[in-house]
Copies of this chain bind each other. A is one copy, B any other.
């Protein structure tokens, strides 16, 4: 059943039927009802391909997710981010076009989406400190929202968590517990969020007159195994950190494993604070969470990002949106006073 047939069956023109269905004012309420009823009865759904061509809008938002360079992994936090965004898209009648490309190919993906007009806007995730995607998207004039930030963050819209403040706060918390030797298991430091967390960490350590040490810090793709190996190596040092900050709960699970492997107890022999994206399958909740954590829901962020992006698409020359989300430091069992060795 297409519009033409529907119009014929009603003895109306396509124009009128189209307008009735799309809520234009130029059609009598009674006629609208009649059309609506017939459309429902016939399970009429406008062909989205035709509609998109006619309107020039794709009613679609693009997400480009990259797999890591060597191992083609895909970060599971995207699942939760997508879940949050997807809900909003569904509500607002937008489709979600997901493009999975190897790292380094994002630009091509964006360029193609823009050129063939398959999306009205795109979400930019995991920005690097200097991210070429931003200039590209501005150049081709495709609306976009950045989840995270770059070093120069005023000329586009973004939503980010307060990475620096969060890690500063977490480090001070550990220092206040008596820890003097802090480790950091961070994400890949070409990514802006990792740099900011590192900066917050450095800041707190310096503010209290302590030292950072290269062998107490690692950076890399935040897998479980990466957390394990990082912690294992740090803890094997003669002069080891007594507390560790971790940038992702997935790696924190690896840290826990490394601690258990030594027969130690987390929160007593080593303190751990992790950033927790509140991934739905790895919840760190309840009355006594396993990890003391800086929390911020990645799913909620996804939802809000979607809302902002849709607004950006609808009102193209609105001012830039900047939203900085705080995190919540929740106490768990993974922290305690520094061991008095």
Contact = CB atoms under 8 A, between A and B. Distances in A.
Interface of A: 43, 45-53, 56, 58, 60, 65, 67, 71-76, 78-80, 82-83, 85-87, 89-90, 95-101, 112, 115-118, 222-225, 250, 253, 256-257, 260, 279-283, 285-286, 290, 299
Given A82-B74, A97-B97, A225-B283, A53 B49 contact: yes
Contacts of A72: 83, 87, 280, 299
A88 to B, nearest CB: 10
A98 B117 contact: no
Given A50-B53, A73-B280, 9 more contacts: A49-B49, A49-B58, A74-B82, A76-B80, A90-B100, A96-B98, A97-B98, A224-B283, A257-B290
Residue picked from A60, A95, A117, A285, most chain B C-beta under 10 Å: A95
A46 B118 CA distance: 11
A112 B52 CA distance: 16
A118 B58 CA distance: 11
28 contacts: A45-B112, A45-B115, A49-B52, A49-B53, A50-B53, A65-B83, A67-B87, A72-B87, A72-B280, A73-B83, A74-B83, A74-B280, A75-B79, A76-B79, A76-B279, A76-B281, A85-B100, A86-B98, A86-B100, A87-B100, A89-B100, A95-B118, A98-B98, A223-B280, A223-B281, A224-B281, A250-B282, A260-B260
Nearest to A85: B100
**Interface SS of chain A: helix, strand, loop or mixed?**
mixed
A283 B229 CA distance: 13
Nearest to A225: B283
Contacts of A98: 82, 86, 96-98
A68 to B, nearest CB: 8
A99 B86 contact: yes
A133 to B, nearest CB: 18
